[in-house]
Amino acid sequence: MLDEDTDKPINAATISLNNANSITATNYLGFFQITVDSSNLLQISAEGYKSVQFSIPAEDKFQVHLQKQTATEQTAGIKELFEYLKYNLNYPINALEGNIQGKVYASFEIDSLGRLQTIGIHQDVKGRFEKELIRVLKNAPQHWGKHPTSRTYILPVVFAIQNAKPAKQNPQMNLPEGIMLKEISVTAASRTYMITR
């Protein structure tokens, strides 16, 4: 398994068969072995590369070159997810009435089929924003771009009240490992809600 541009080996690429349970991975030299028959299609995926599927070659030994994904392909669906959040996140009434604001972090996983799952809320402010974030993320459509492997994302969300003194922000602590997304701001004023990016 080689990089199409550099001809360097691709380590830990996943190789599977379309109609069997066989699965393996390449080693640091890009080599792999798998038992196949003529009815199989070979499916190959690797982090940062375009996935491919093709019929088994007649030769016992063959090379496969993978193309790198573009930056747009690697983040497929994230722009659409931001648009969804923009129109669905509200400032919780109990937080607004209590003059509570601050930054909260939501973590979630987007699996290889583009499904959003494994939601977690971190550094909630007095327990006022978790319910709203979970509601919106749980109701999110399940089509955020396919990728060879699951990925964990961290989303910072700032809840702020217009014309109020900005809340003192706590330092980022105990956040799970993942890809940090751009910060979203949810702003409220006298129960009139809007969201900015």
Output the tens digit of pLDDT for each of the chain's 197 residues: 899 889 999 988 888 876 666 788 899 999 998 887 767 788 887 777 777 878 877 777 888 998 876 544 445 567 778 888 888 999 999 998 888 888 999 999 888 777 888 999 998 888 889 999 999 998 887 766 666 778 888 888 999 888 877 766 655 567 788 888 888 889 887 554 445 54
Q: What pLDDT was estimated at residue 73?
A: 45
Q: Are 28 and 35 in contact (CB under 8 A)?
A: no
Contact 85, 156 (CB under 8 A): no
Please give the pLDDT value at position 31. 92
Give one DSSP letter per residue of 103-169, joined into a string: EEEEEEEE-TTS-EEEEEEES-STTSSHHHHHHHHHTS-S-S---SS-EEEEEEEEEEETTSPPPPP
Domains annotated on the chain, with CATH: 1-69 (2.60.40.1120), 74-196 (3.30.2420.10)
pLDDT confidence of residue 77: 66
Length of the chain: 197
Q: How many H helices and E strands in the chain? A: 4, 12
Whole-angstrom distance, CA of residue 139 vs CA of residue 123? 22
